[in-house]
Amino acid sequence: MSRIGKILWFIVALWAVICLSVIAVTLSSMLPQSGLNKKSELGLVTIDGEITTADQVLEEIQTLRKDDEVKGIVLRVESPGGAVAASQEIYQALEQMRADSFPVVASFGNIAASGGFYAALPAEHIFADPGSLTGSIGVITQFMHGEKLMDKIGIEAVTITSGALKDAGSPMRAPRAQDVAYFQGVVDDTYQQFLESVSKWRKIPIDSLRPIADGRVFTGRQAKALRLIDSLGGQQDAVKWLTKRCKLDAVPDKLETAEPPKPFLRDLMDGLGAVVPAGLRNKVHVLWMTP
């Protein structure tokens, strides 16, 4: 076969595989699911790592809530905390689910502290392993300045502002007393919000909460004694609790997730990787442009 003929054969074969894959995916989505592929009645949402944005967590929660087959959600927390507003947005989503009587149980992994603890507060029940690290009820902000270094090497910064506090926290100069007072006010108000939320959901008076809300972390066992969590146990214990709460017949083997969908072509090519012969795959090179 000539080289041109081989190329044409390759194009036709690849097109046939693509068409068959699209047809198979379409048909599988239209057919009723078998018992083995039955969707779970419990969903799983994970807060993983530092909380800088709530977008993905909120999207996953919303997707699972719209699924009529999902009766409750396990919130798995593996986070040391993060941004205040992002933590509060997740908190507010759980708070709304409590108001709607939609069951949510929280499960703390290695660490669920500060914003990670804050976000999970409205859950109906909170589980933590005895060695989980949680708590860290507090707020911090910090910055550094290089004024002395700049003086030493002869660099001077000129700053023009519309108000005395517009450049508060600038790395170009040492903070003034009014700067420190200004930032302390912001931190104190944010801390008070944190205290009020913990007091509300953990049923602990603020005066009793303050002595332990100094930024320190606790083990899961310590947190249980301080009433910051409800029970000691892992994710499977949380699943069993939620199964009973939702009055399901049996503990599900898996939890339903709502991962962000892949772009269609990327999803298709991932599928092709499993059906295209290895010898043919090795002759195909695909360049992706991603944001």
Give the residue numbers annotated as catalytic, written as ranges: 114, 166
DSSP secondary structure code for residue 263 in this structure: P
- What is the number of alpha carbons within 13 Å of residue 204 lying toward its C-beta? 24
What is the phi-psi region of residue 245: left when phi exceeds 0, alpha when psi lies from -120 to 50, beta otherwise? Answer: alpha
Residue type, position 103, single letter: P
For 13, phi and psi rounded to 5 degrees? -65, -45
Q: How far apart are CA 159 and CA 90, in angstroms?
A: 38
Residue 182 exposed, middle or buried by CB count within 10 Å (0-12, 13-18, 19+): middle
Cα distance between residue 87 and residue 139, in whole Å:
12
Rounded CA-CA distance 208/210 in Å is 6
